[in-house]
């Protein structure tokens, strides 16, 4: 069977034509439908006719239990469920070592799509995140009065993403609107009633109450029914996304059931071989190709200490098969000796080992500055609260109750190593990775041998701003810049783009060459949109501040800007991190010499 589906959306402005040649269903595959509106019966019947084994649940607790116990090949989630919070459910699945590799797709069949993409009068515009500020400015200008000195124009922003709300507030203030920010959607309708805004910017997907329900309640009130609404959402309605911005998962949110597309997607995501889901390798990701001869990273080192030889060897075999380099010890004293010899990245200790028990070994490690940072997992048959509290007070990272599930052990090791790396290598202000991670990422891209680009970013006139407004205000600028870079660079949880904070007002982005120039252009224009909001009204009207430069010369400084140098290997090879850094510094310096925000792409061939 083959077919052609047309999906029509106001935001796209044209028909989307998708040719589908679906694979045949694999009998026996298990599909869990999580549909809080109890509307999954139609979908379940459709899939059962295609020989799938189907379960339907309507609550998040039921879904989590089914994932753990029934082990479905695929979960289909209604992202517009009103009986529970789908985003919190996804977060819980992904943060649980037992369920983190569960394969999930998002499918929502909803007539609500017409409210946004159809002829409904209340929605005057629909923008998808990350928002194009120029498009937002144009929309606001068409639906609300232009702000001027004699008339304040109020815009109500309803979005539970506080970081994105901050960016919107800066944008609105910079364009002389009066923003009113509501992060709790339960307060949105009342804020509209009392504030009587000239326009509303509304997110669709929020906890407690979604944007569709808010729009319905606004229409029921005479005082709010005529307020123009601009929808700003990571959802893309009436369209298929291979990776949705909101969920990081394949998404179909449609008024109708696109059967051919859905079948093809289910077969692809559930895995033709039926093997459990595993994280995609870099070569499997869209637009990245095969990594070829790229050098594999060093395997993390794990020490396993257990006095039961059979259990120790089973654990060793499982952990090694998961890609770790494993050392073993049969008692606590031997464990300390091996730790001193191998410097492992994580230690797994039995609680009741001979010579020295697990807690004693842990205490010795925590008392040694050389090894105090190593995360520790204790395996124990004791489930008493007092035992756990004693270990946690010493800095133990996790407990596993015997008999040990080896798959869970591997999941816990991975989770703790990832968390520990983030804590040790994170800029305390921006929470972005620091210099060790930056260098490692650039060197990995060089080894892969594929086309890539590195954006070096620096703020213009930051010292002058700090001197006038103070370091607290300067920190606010750095946080806002970090948030802006994240919003425009990292599209979803599967994005391979990388953002780092070198220090001070210097940042770095590693991305595909194909999108690097467009990304730089977007960052430059968006930063210039919000930059005036960092200044007082008097300074905004004057258009500059007066401060001293590094030579103590008093001069006028224009508003903060951003300079970007783009290094890439499209025209000439890049062979080292030092070379990339030197070229980036040179390009960034040239961009800073411009009178305003700018980016410079390296166009040289040698």
Distances (CA, A) of 214 to 189, 217, 288: 7, 5, 41
The answer to whether residues 297 and 319 touch, using CB atoms and an 8 Å cutoff, is: no
Q: What is the pLDDT of residues 76-117, one digit of tens each?
A: 998 888 778 888 888 888 877 778 889 999 888 877 777 776
Q: Which of 273-277, 285-289, 502-506 has the lowest mean pLDDT?
A: 285-289
Residue 322 CA to residue 306 CA, distance in Å, equals 19
Q: What is the pLDDT of residues 45-57, one digit of tens each?
A: 888 888 899 999 9
- Secondary structure (3-state) at 549: coil
Judged on CB neighbours under 10 Å (0-12, 13-18, 19+), 275 is: exposed
Residue 35 CA to residue 62 CA, distance in Å, equals 11
Q: Is the pLDDT of residue 310 over 90?
A: no
Q: What is the pLDDT of residues 26-45, one digit of tens each?
A: 557 899 999 866 557 888 88
Average pLDDT along the chain:
82
Q: Is the pLDDT of residue 299 over 90?
A: no
The answer to whether residues 190 and 156 touch, using CB atoms and an 8 Å cutoff, is: no
Q: What is the pLDDT of residues 112-159, one digit of tens each?
A: 777 776 655 578 888 887 788 888 988 999 999 988 878 889 999 999
Strands 498-503 and 178-182 turn out to be: unpaired
Domains of the chain: 24-110+255-270 (3.40.50.2300), 113-233 (3.40.50.2300), 301-424 (3.40.50.2300), 435-601 (3.30.70.270)
Q: The sheet that has 376-380: what strands, in order across it?
A: 325-329, 301-305, 346-350, 376-380, 398-401
Distances (CA, A) of 358 to 153, 320, 354, 543: 65, 22, 9, 65
The answer to whether residues 582 and 570 touch, using CB atoms and an 8 Å cutoff, is: no
Tokens (6 digits) for 227? 């307020």
DSSP 347: E
Residue 235 CA to residue 256 CA, distance in Å, equals 16
Amino acid 4: pLDDT: 31
Mean pLDDT of 185-193: 94
* Kind plus residue range of the DSSP H or E element containing 124: strand 123-128
Tokens (6 digits) for 45? 């019947």
Mean pLDDT of 548-571: 90
What is the maximum span of the chain, computed from C-alpha positions, in angstroms?
82
φ, ψ dihedrals at 326, nearest 5°: -115, 135
Residue 336 CA to residue 344 CA, distance in Å, equals 11
Q: Which of 67-76, 337-346, 421-430, 466-475 has the lowest mean pLDDT?
A: 421-430
Of the candidates 212, 151, 206, 208, the residue with the CA atom closest to the CA atom of residue 176: 151
Residue 337 CA to residue 343 CA, distance in Å, equals 10
Q: Which residues pair with 7 in a beta bridge?
A: 16
Q: b/e for 569-596, b at 16 or more Cβ within 10 A?
A: beeeebeebeebbebbeebbeebbeeee
- pTM (2 decimals)? 0.62
Query: What is the sign, positive or negative, of the torsion defined by CA atoms of 568, 570, 575, 579?
Result: negative
């Amino acid at each position: 069977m083959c077919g052609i589906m047309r999906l029509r959306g106001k935001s796209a402005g044209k028909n989307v034509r998708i040719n589908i040649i679906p694979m045949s269903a694999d009998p026996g595959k298990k599909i869990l439908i999580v549909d809080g509106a109890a509307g999954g019966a139609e979908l379940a019947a459709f899939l059962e006719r295609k020989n799938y084994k189907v379960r339907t649940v309507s609550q998040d607790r039921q879904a989590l239990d089914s994932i753990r116990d029934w082990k479905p090949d695929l979960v289909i989630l209604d992202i517009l469920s009103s009986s529970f919070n789908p985003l919190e459910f996804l977060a819980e699945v992904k943060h649980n070592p037992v369920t983190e590799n569960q394969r999930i797709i998002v499918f929502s069949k909803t007539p609500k799509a017409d409210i946004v993409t159809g002829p409904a009068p209340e929605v005057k515009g629909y923008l998808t995140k990350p928002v194009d500020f120029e498009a937002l400015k144009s929309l606001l200008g068409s639906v609300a009065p232009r702000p001027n000195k004699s008339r304040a124009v109020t815009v109500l922003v309803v979005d539970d993403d506080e970081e994105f709300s901050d960016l919107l507030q800066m944008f609105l203030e910079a364009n002389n609107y009066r923003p009113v920010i509501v992060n709790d959607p339960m307060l949105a309708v009342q804020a509209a009633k009392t504030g009587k805004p000239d326009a509303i910017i509304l997110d669709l997907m929020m906890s407690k109450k979604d944007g569709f329900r808010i729009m319905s309640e606004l229409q029921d009130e005479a005082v709010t029914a005529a307020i123009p609404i601009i929808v700003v959402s990571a959802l893309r309605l009436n369209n298929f996304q291979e990776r949705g911005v909101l969920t990081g998962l394949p998404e179909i949110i449609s008024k109708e059931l696109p059967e051919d597309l859905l079948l093809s997607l289910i077969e692809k995501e559930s895995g033709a071989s039926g093997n459990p889901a595993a994280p995609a390798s870099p070569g499997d990701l869209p637009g990245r190709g095969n990594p070829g001869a790229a050098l594999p990273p060093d395997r993390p080192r794990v020490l396993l200490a257990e006095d039961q030889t059979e259990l120790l060897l089973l654990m060793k075999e499982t952990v090694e098969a998961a890609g770790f380099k494993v050392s073993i010890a049969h008692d606590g004293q031997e464990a300390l000796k091996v730790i001193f010899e191998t410097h492992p990245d994580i230690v797994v200790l039995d609680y009741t080992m001979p010579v020295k028990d697990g807690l004693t070994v842990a205490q010795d490690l925590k008392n040694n500055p050389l090894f105090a940072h190593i995360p520790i997992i204790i395996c124990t048959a004791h489930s008493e609260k007092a035992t756990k509290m004693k270990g946690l007070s010493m800095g133990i990272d996790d407990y596993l109750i015997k008999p040990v599930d080896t798959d869970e052990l591997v999941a816990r090791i991975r989770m703790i190593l990832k968390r520990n790396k983030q804590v040790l290598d994170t800029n305390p202000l921006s929470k972005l990775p620091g210099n060790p991670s930056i260098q490692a990422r650039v060197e990995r891209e060089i080894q892969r041998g594929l086309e890539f680009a590195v954006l070096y970013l620096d703020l213009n006139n930051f010292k002058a701003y700090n001197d006038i407004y103070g370091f607290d205000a300067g920190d606010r600028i750095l946080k806002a810049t970090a948030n802006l870079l994240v919003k425009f660079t990292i599209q979803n949880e599967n994005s391979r783009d990388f953002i780092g904070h070198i220090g001070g007002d210097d940042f770095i982005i590693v991305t595909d060459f194909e999108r690097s120039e467009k990304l730089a252009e977007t960052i430059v224009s968006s930063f210039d949109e919000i930059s005036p909001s960092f200044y007082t009204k008097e300074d905004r009207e004057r258009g500059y501040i007066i401060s001293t430069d590094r030579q103590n010369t008093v001069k006028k400084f224009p508003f903060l800007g951003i300079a970007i140098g783009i290094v890439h290997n499209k025209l000439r090879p890049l062979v080292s991190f030092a070379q990339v850094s030197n070229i980036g510094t040179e390009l960034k310096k040239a961009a800073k010499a411009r009178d305003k925000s700018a980016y410079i792409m390296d166009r040289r061939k040698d």
